[in-house]
Structures are given as structure tokens and as C-alpha cells.
A = this chain, B = another copy of it.
């Protein structure tokens, strides 16, 4: 029926699965991304993935494990602009790459609008608390990396000497989060572009 998984290296015995794990995971990511962890029901997921519930549980474990794998995929393929941004030669370059990268991702027509991390970390019932904690930890790690980068930038003279690098990291993160919220609220790409350009005009140093 469906495309086989291409890893013919290990010719497993038993009945081969009829769906591609990677494609199914990508479909699951889209559902989580647009509806959030709790808003995505197993029925939503199985329908989007084109498989039945037993197949899902056999291949991915359970809903929580599926989400974590989708989150890995998200960071690897969608949010890699964050890591790339930190390699920019100047702090201004970091801010530029980060904001335009976020802008592109949030407004890409084939993606849901907004940031999966923001969506998942904001609010949840009691049973999703560990999911929320996992997402928060990734956000904290990203912020730590940005902080180190800005500390270096300050040493390199990218900022005026009285600059609060930690405050600037929180600031850049906040604008990014706000952009995600506004994208989810239906802001157009043109509106978000003006937000980015305004923010960069205010950005200090080089």
C-alpha cells in the first residue's frame, strides 16, 4: 500500500510494515505542531499518519514517546536555524539570522504557524506536565547557548561596554517568542517582517 522503509540492509523476518516510519513521524509532528500535545488526539494522529493505533504503538511506544521523537525531528530539521544563527560572526549577525530564520519557519506555508516549543510550553493540564518540562529544558538549553554566544560577543566588542548580555539574550528570545505567538494568531508575513526589521533597527552594536 505505502512506501516501504528504505533500510533494506537488515532484511527483517516477519511481516514487513506497510508504512514509512519517517513519513509517519513527520505527519505526527505536523499534528502536534498545529494542535499542541494535548490538543492532538490519537485519532488525529493516526488519521494524519495513515496508520492504525496498534501500528502506532508498536512503532513508537505511546503518545508521549511519539511526541518526543517528533520533537527531536523538529529540532533537527526545523529549528536548526537556531544553532546556525549562533555561528554568525557578530552579535548583530546572530540576531539577524535568528529572527529571519524564525520568520521563514513561522510563515512557511507548509508548516503550521508558530513555534512548537512555545506552543507546547505555554499551558497544559496535569498529565502533560512532564512533556512541558521536557520542552522547557530544551528552551533553557537554547537560551544558555545564546547567552554564552553573547558573552563572547561582549568580549569581542560587539556591544557597548555597559551592555547587559543576559538581558539582551532574554530580549531576543522574547521577540522570537512574541513572533511565534503573533504568527499563531494569524499575523501575515508582511506584519512579522516589520516586527523583525523594527527589532533589528533597535538592536545595539554591530
Contact = CB atoms under 8 A, between A and B. Distances in A.
Contact of A171 (B139, B140, B198): B198
Contact of A36 (B122, B171, B195): B122
A166 interface: yes
Nearest to A41: B125
A122 to B, nearest CB: 5
How would you classify the secondary structure of chain A's contact residues: helix, strand, loop or mixed? helix
Given A38-B39, A177-B177, A121 B184 contact: yes
A111 interface: no
A148 interface: no
B39 A125 contact: yes
A204 interface: yes
Interface of A: 34-36, 38-41, 114, 118-126, 128, 136, 139-140, 164, 166-168, 170-171, 173-179, 181-182, 184-187, 191-192, 194-195, 197-199, 202-204
Top 5 A-B pairs ranked by shortest CB distance? A174-B178, A36-B123, A167-B198, A39-B125, A167-B194
